[in-house]
């Protein structure tokens, strides 16, 4: 099904006879849900864009590329740097803005500006009974009632089908530069990232890829030059500075997990404490890409090592199987949280038809 | 302001309930003497008062859990309280309720600079969180103006903001995880120091839920390295429209000041008479603060000056030194006190799209004449969060009601232009009955279902946030 309006979509959900597989572009879907496909692509278009207020309201099925083009026309962007996981997951298709929020998809700049959920100002969605609900709005500060925007962000369509989303957007800075630090082992290279993040120099990216630690700053040209200079003086190893488009290319590779694309094996995504990052990877002896100063690890592993991964991150974070066969995809929750999640699902989707089984 | 009639059954069992609370808490943690309970009869919304049945001051998550279990078993409503600085009546009790104050839970549990977080007990005050890490060059970003007194627990309950959230975000953007005690006494950990949710973002919905989903006893908070320096400029304009356009153009130019504060003429005059900060006598005034090294500050201010001068300001004042910088902030920081010198005031908190600023200020001015009450506007202009201060005389019969009616009209106007009822203070009891202006029944139903899951008996802070009519069936159990 591909409804062309919110009302049609609500009708489709209300009248559904069985489970529905909610899909934006299907470019970052995880988990094992089954059901009749319900596409949101028919709900497309920018509803409101006020560059002077940094505010965007857009229908959920709008292609991400279209949103980005509209913003670029005013030299603005989505601050949270949406990853394109098609290469990693071997998917075709067109990412939608609703899918981005439903997956809380956030890239390297999360260390500076937060995730998709932090930029989201409002949502409209259709719950599992076919009822249209709105929450939040289009203004940056809003504490009126409960924040269901955060609950919908990252819920992957299991609580409701997003029909409209509002975001706070960001001006594209005039300059960017990346410090490339070579000649350090993983432990020292990750420590260099933490040191940069603990400095007052407003780092907007801190990653480690193929033996190189990458530290990014963005802003006005003079400011970028100053901060890169300060950070260079603090970094150990052999240091070079990369500017402009060459810098951007380095970060696209990190954002889209390019080093692990097209390789056999399973890919795990681990959120952890930056100080635990080197140890986790060393213990598992796997190829890794580190982002968020070590707080995010992308790991390439042979199949069947899920138990080892879980043991390695226990008490230090959590791991999601983003590419692989079988097994639970999302990390287990505590019994108390599991009970709350089950309770919420029963309220939002009493028939259990939305992406049934996707998040456990 | 209506509050539900207290449950006389609960009140008649006061002796037994207090005895059960005493049985699970140290002797000094249970307060039931009427004269001592007066301290808990209201928060910073002082127009409404009601002493609670009892108050408890636990010292640990375990003690909070025991208290809640007793109250859950006895069917006693519980009103969580941080420092009692809510302007919305978020901690206002009813006669059948137990106040659960977290003020004694104020320890720092863990500080981790390498991973940039601090873990504190929730009764710790906002400013003392920054205080704990300041010497090492870090700070906690959300800075509500009550930060000297307000507790992290209340900040989380209301998702508090502050003057600097244009750059750093509000509480929810700086909260990594919590220990939460549900009404039935169950202890739940949501999130953690790594920040990234593992499944549904329950932490995100707990933040801002006004103490209705659980009692937060501990929190992991993001701490940030302090910027090298900061400096404000002051710009005066002869029209609100032009000041609004200037804000918009600064933002469009890609400059991200940490704060853009706006004051209108009534507020400027009141402030000037009180604090004598030397502000120009003009229609609208902006205070814009930027951060960074000396060179970075100069670079940003030069850009801001260029934009501001294109809007024909009556004054553009830079701060040559720390003393001048303080003087620029002096008037703004005295604004509430200055208005309070003139009369009693009610502080509103609606947010509007920045583009609606001139229209909304014009309408507020017209309504001020209609209602016969003066109003001054202080405003976080970068994010559209308004703080109209309506002056009234609490000793004049009918003045409070008139002021509340005026306030309600302003908030309806905020919603009408695409904004919301409250940007950072919360709904509490103050804006509870206006919720239906902003939300359709289905929107509120979705929110109340979340409470059904966390607190099925609706015992936690039950008479807040939702209009009493909308929540009546649930509160009746």
Q: Which CATH number goes with the domain that contains B205?
A: 3.30.465.10
Third-level CATH fold of A259-323: Alpha-Beta Plaits (3.30.70)
In a domain, B200, yes or no: yes
Residue whose pair of structure tokens reads 């040191």 in the numeric block: A195
* B251: Cβ contacts below 8 Å, ≥ 6 apart: A52, A53, A54, A171, B354, B382
Percent of chain B with pLDDT over 70: 100
CB atoms within 10 A of CB B56: 27
Question: Would the CA dihedral through B267, B268, B270, B276 be positive or negative?
Answer: positive
Tens-digit pLDDT profile for residues A282-327: 999 899 999 999 999 999 999 999 999 999 999 999 999 999 987 7
Q: Which CATH number goes with the domain that contains B30?
A: 3.30.43.10
Cβ–Cβ below 8 Å for A174 and B254? yes
Residue whose pair of structure tokens reads 């906690």 in the numeric block: B140
* A175: Cβ contacts below 8 Å, ≥ 6 apart: A218, A219, A220, A221, A224, A225, A243, A244
**Inter-residue contact A211 to A182 (CB < 8 Å):** yes
Domain that holds residue B66: 8-103
Together in a domain, B137 and B189: yes
Mean pLDDT in residue range B300-327: 94
Q: How far is CA A206 from the centre of its chain?
A: 16
Q: Which CATH number goes with the domain that contains B374?
A: 3.40.462.10
Average pLDDT of the residues of chain B: 95
Question: Would the CA dihedral through B302, B308, B312, B318 be positive or negative?
Answer: negative
What is the predicted pLDDT for the residue at B341? 85
Mean pLDDT in residue range B296-316: 95
Given a cut of 70, is residue A339 above it in pLDDT? yes
Question: In whole angstroms, what is the distance from residue B185 CA to residue B72 CA?
Answer: 8
Cβ–Cβ below 8 Å for A172 and B254? yes
In a domain, B434, yes or no: no
Together in a domain, B323 and B407: yes
- ipTM, 2 dp: 0.97
Tens-digit pLDDT profile for residues B223-272: 999 999 999 999 999 998 899 889 989 988 888 899 999 999 999 998 99
In a domain, B76, yes or no: yes
Together in a domain, B65 and B206: no
Q: Which chain B residue lies closest to A191 (C-alpha atoms)?
A: B114
Question: In whole angstroms, what is the distance from residue B130 CA to residue B136 CA?
Answer: 10
What is the predicted pLDDT for the residue at A221? 94
Together in a domain, B218 and B239: no
Q: Which chain A residue lies closest to B196 (C-alpha atoms)?
A: A271
Q: At what angle do helices B357-371 and B399-416 cross, to 10 degrees?
A: 160
Question: In whole angstroms, what is the distance from residue B56 CA to residue B464 CA?
Answer: 20
Please indicate if any CB of chain A lies within 8 Å of the CB of B199: yes
Together in a domain, B28 and B159: no
Tens-digit pLDDT profile for residues A235-251: 877 999 999 999 999 99
pTM above threshold 0.90: yes
Please indicate if any CB of chain A lies within 8 Å of the CB of B218: no
What is the predicted pLDDT for the residue at B275? 87
Radius of gyration (Cα) for chain B, nearest Å? Answer: 23
In a domain, B33, yes or no: yes
Provide the 3-class DSSP secondary structure of residue B369: helix
CB atoms within 10 A of CB A283: 12
Residue B201, judged by CB atoms within 10 A of its CB (0-12, 13-18, 19+), counts as buried
In a domain, B459, yes or no: no
Residue whose pair of structure tokens reads 């004049």 in the numeric block: B396
Question: Would the CA dihedral through B121, B127, B130, B134 be positive or negative?
Answer: negative
Mean pLDDT in residue range B441-449: 98
Tens-digit pLDDT profile for residues B143-153: 998 899 999 99
Nearest by CB to B201, which of A117, A222, A360? A117
Together in a domain, B192 and B315: no
Q: Which chain A residue lies closest to B350 (C-alpha atoms)?
A: A142
Mutation site, B194, B224, B418, interface A, largest A CB count within 10 A: B194
Q: How far is B435 from chain A (nearest CA, A)?
A: 8
Q: What distances in angstroms separate CA B274 from CA B304, B322, B342, B390, B464, one per listed residue?
A: 29, 22, 9, 17, 36
Q: What is the 3-state secondary structure (H, E, C) of chain A?
A: CCCCCHHHHHHHHHCCCCCEEEECCCCCCCCCCCCEEEECCCCCCEEEEEHHHCEEEEECCCEHHHHHHHHHCCCEECCCCCCCCHHHHCCCCCCEHHHHHHCCCCCCCHHHHCCHHHHEEEEEEEECCCCEEEEECCCCCCCCCCCHHHHHCCCCCCCEEEEEEEEECEECCCEEEEEEEECCCHHHHHHHHHHHHCCCCCCCEEEEECCEEEEEEEECHHHHHHHHHHHHHHCCCEEEEEEHHHHHHHHHHHHCCHHHCCCCCEEEEEEECHHHHHHHHHHHCCEEEEEHHHCEEEEEECCCCHHHHHHHHCCCEEEEEEECCCCCCCCCCCHHHHHHHHHHHHHHCCCCCECCCCCC
**Inter-residue contact A141 to A125 (CB < 8 Å):** no
Together in a domain, B266 and B307: yes
Question: Which of B33-42, B117-126, B318-327 has the weakest average pLDDT?
Answer: B318-327
Count structural domains, chain B. 3
Closest CA to A81 of A60, A111, A53, A54: A111
Question: In whole angstroms, what is the distance from residue B275 CA to residue B265 CA?
Answer: 15
In a domain, B472, yes or no: no
Mean pLDDT in residue range A182-194: 96
Together in a domain, B400 and B310: yes
| DSSP H or E segment with residue B120 | strand B117-121
Name the residue ranges covered by the structural domains of chain A: 6-171, 175-255, 259-323
Q: How far is A360 from chain B (nearest CA, A)?
A: 9
Question: In whole angstroms, what is the distance from residue B45 CA to residue B59 CA?
Answer: 26
Together in a domain, B245 and B204: no
Cβ–Cβ below 8 Å for A220 and B440? no
User: pLDDT-based confidence at B18, cuts 50/70/90?
Assistant: very high
User: pLDDT-based confidence at A278, cuts 50/70/90?
Assistant: very high
Dihedral of the alpha carbons of B278, B282, B283, B289, in degrees to the nearest 10: -50
Question: Would the CA dihedral through B234, B240, B241, B242 be positive or negative?
Answer: negative
Q: What is the DSSP code (8-state) at residue B293? A: S
Closest CA to A271 of B113, B117, B197, B118: B197
Interface of B with A in 117-176 (CB under 8 A): 137, 158-159, 161, 165-166, 169-170, 172-173
Residue that terminates a domain, selected from B77, B103, B129: B103
In a domain, B70, yes or no: yes
Residue that terminates a domain, selected from B103, B138, B162: B103
The token pair that represents B297 in the structure block: 């500050």
Average pLDDT of the residues of chain A: 96
Please indicate if any CB of chain B lies within 8 Å of the CB of A225: no
Together in a domain, B243 and B375: yes
Together in a domain, B113 and B63: no
What is the predicted pLDDT for the residue at A298? 98
Domain A175-255 of CATH type 3.40.50.720: no
Given a cut of 90, is residue B166 above it in pLDDT? no
**Inter-residue contact B199 to B115 (CB < 8 Å):** no
Please indicate if any CB of chain A lies within 8 Å of the CB of B360: no
Closest CA to B156 of B130, B131, B123, B132: B123
Exposed e or buried b per residue across A103-142, where buried means at least 16 C-beta atoms within 10 angstroms of its C-beta: bbbbbbbbbbbbbbbbbbbbbbbbbbbebbbbbbbbbbbb
The token pair that represents B56 in the structure block: 């408890």
Residue that terminates a domain, selected from B103, B137, B152: B103
| DSSP H or E segment with residue B108 | strand B108-112
Mean pLDDT in residue range B412-416: 97
What is the predicted pLDDT for the residue at A234? 87
User: Which listed CATH number (3.40.190.10, 3.30.300.30, 3.30.465.10, 3.40.50.620) goes with A6-171?
Assistant: 3.30.465.10
Instruction: Tell me which chain B residues have a C-beta less than 8 angstroms from the C-beta of A115.
Output: 196
Instruction: Tell me which chain A residues have a C-beta less than 8 angstroms from the C-beta of B420.
Output: 137, 139, 142, 144
Given a cut of 70, is residue A360 above it in pLDDT? no
Q: What distances in angstroms separate CA A177 from CA A180, A288, B257, one per listed residue?
A: 10, 24, 21
Instruction: For residue A166, list its beta bridge partners.
Output: A57, A122
Please indicate if any CB of chain A lies within 8 Å of the CB of B467: no
Tens-digit pLDDT profile for residues B345-386: 999 999 999 888 889 999 999 999 999 999 999 888 888 999
In a domain, B448, yes or no: no
**Angle at alpha carbon of residue A352, lines to A348 and A356, rounded to 5°:** 115
Together in a domain, B209 and B270: no
Cβ–Cβ below 8 Å for B254 and A222? no
Q: What distances in angstroms separate CA B385 from CA A142, A335, A357, B420, one per listed residue?
A: 8, 40, 41, 9
Q: What phi and psi values does residue A321 have, to the nearest 5 degrees?
A: -85, 105
Tens-digit pLDDT profile for residues B78-136: 999 999 999 999 999 999 999 999 999 999 999 999 999 999 999 999 999 999 999 99
């Amino acid at each position: 099904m591909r409804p062309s309006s919110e009302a049609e979509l609500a009708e489709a959900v209300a009248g559904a006879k069985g489970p529905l597989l909610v899909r934006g572009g299907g470019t970052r879907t995880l988990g094992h849900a089954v059901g009749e496909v319900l596409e949101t692509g028919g709900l497309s278009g920018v509803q409101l864009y006020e560059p002077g207020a940094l505010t965007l309201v857009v229908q959920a099925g709008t292609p991400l590329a279209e949103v980005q083009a509209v913003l670029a026309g005013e030299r603005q962007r989505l601050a949270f740097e949406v990853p394109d996981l098609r290469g990693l997951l071997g998917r075709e298709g067109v990412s939608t803005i609703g899918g981005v929020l439903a997956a809380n998809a956030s890239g390297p700049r999360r260390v500076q500006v937060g995730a998709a959920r932090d930029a989201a100002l409002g949502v409209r969605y259709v719950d599992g009974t076919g009822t249209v609900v709105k929450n939040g709005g289009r203004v940056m500060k809003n504490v009126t009632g409960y924040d269901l925007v955060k609950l919908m962000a990252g819920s992957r369509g299991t609580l409701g089908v997003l029909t409209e989303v509002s975001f706070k957007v960001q001006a594209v800075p005039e300059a960017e530069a990346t410090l490339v630090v070579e000649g350090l082992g993983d432990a020292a290279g990750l420590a260099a990232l933490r040191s940069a993040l603990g400095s007052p120099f407003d780092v907007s990216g801190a990653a480690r890829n193929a033996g190189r630690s990458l530290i990014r700053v963005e802003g006005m040209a003079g400011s970028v030059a100053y901060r890169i200079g300060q950070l260079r003086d603090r970094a150990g190893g052999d240091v070079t500075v990369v500017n402009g488009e060459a810098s951007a290319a380095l970060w696209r590779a990190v954002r889209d997990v390019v080093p692990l694309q097209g390789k056999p094996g399973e890919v795990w995504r681990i959120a952890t404490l930056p100080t635990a990052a080197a140890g986790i990877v060393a213990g598992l002896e796997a190829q890794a890409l580190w982002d968020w100063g070590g707080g995010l690890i992308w790991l390439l592993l042979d199949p069947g090592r899920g138990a080892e991964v879980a043991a390695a991150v226990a008490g230090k974070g959590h791991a999601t199987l983003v590419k692989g066969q079988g097994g639970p995809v999302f990390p287990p929750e505590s019994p108390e949280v599991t009970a709350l999640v089950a309770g919420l699902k029963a309220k939002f989707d009493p028939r259990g038809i939305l992406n049934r089984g996707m998040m456990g | 302001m209506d509050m539900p009639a207290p449950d006389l059954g609960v009140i008649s069992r006061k002796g037994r309930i207090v005895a059960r609370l005493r049985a699970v808490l140290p002797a000094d943690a249970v307060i039931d003497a009427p004269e001592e309970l007066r301290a808990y009869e209201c928060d910073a919304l002082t127009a409404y008062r009601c002493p609670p049945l009892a108050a408890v001051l636990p010292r640990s998550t375990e003690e909070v859990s025991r208290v809640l279990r007793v109250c859950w078993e006895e069917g006693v409503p519980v009103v969580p309280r941080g420092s009692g600085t809510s302007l919305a009546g978020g901690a206002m009790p009813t006669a059948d309720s137990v106040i659960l104050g977290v003020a004694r839970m104020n320890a720092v549990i863990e500080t981790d600079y390498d991973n940039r977080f601090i873990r504190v007990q929730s009764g710790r005050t906002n400013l003392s969180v920054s205080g704990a890490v300041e010497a090492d060059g870090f700070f906690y970003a959300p800075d509500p103006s009550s930060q000297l007194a307000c507790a992290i627990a209340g900040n989380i309950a209301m998702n508090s903001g502050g003057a600097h959230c244009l750059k750093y975000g509000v509480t929810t953007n700086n909260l990594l995880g919590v220990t939460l005690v549900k009404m039935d006494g169950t202890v739940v950990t949501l999130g953690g120091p790594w920040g990234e949710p593992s499944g549904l973002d329950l932490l995100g919905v707990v933040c801002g839920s006004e103490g209705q989903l659980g009692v937060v006893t501990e929190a992991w908070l993001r701490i940030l390295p302090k910027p090298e320096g900061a400096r404000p400029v002051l710009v005066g304009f002869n029209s609100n429209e032009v000041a609004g356009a200037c804000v918009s153009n600064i933002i469009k130019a890609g400059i991200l000041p940490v704060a853009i504060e706006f004051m209108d003429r009534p507020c400027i005059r009141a402030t000037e008479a009180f604090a004598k900060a030397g502000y120009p006598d003009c229609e609208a005034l902006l205070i814009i603060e930027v951060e960074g090294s000396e060179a970075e500050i100069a670079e940003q201010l030069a850009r801001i000056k260029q934009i501001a001068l294109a809007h024909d300001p009556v004054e553009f004042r830079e701060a040559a030194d720390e003393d001048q910088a303080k003087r620029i902030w002096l008037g703004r920081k005295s604004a509430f006190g200055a208005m309070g010198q003139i009369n009693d005031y009610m502080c509103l908190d609606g947010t509007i799209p920045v583009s609606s600023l001139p229209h909304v200020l014009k309408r507020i001015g017209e309504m001020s004449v209609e209602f016969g009450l003066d109003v001054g506007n202080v405003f976080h202009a970068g994010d559209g969060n308004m703080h109209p201060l309506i002056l009234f005389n609490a000793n004049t019969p009918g003045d409070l009601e008139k002021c509340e009616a005026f306030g309600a009209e302003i908030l309806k106007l905020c919603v009408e232009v695409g904004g919301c009822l409250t940007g950072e203070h919360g709904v509490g009891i103050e804006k509870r009955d206006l919720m239906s202006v902003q939300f359709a029944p289905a929107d509120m139903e979705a929110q109340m279902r979340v409470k059904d899951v966390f607190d099925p008996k609706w015992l936690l802070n039950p008479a807040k946030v939702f209009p009493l009519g909308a929540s009546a069936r649930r509160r009746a159990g």
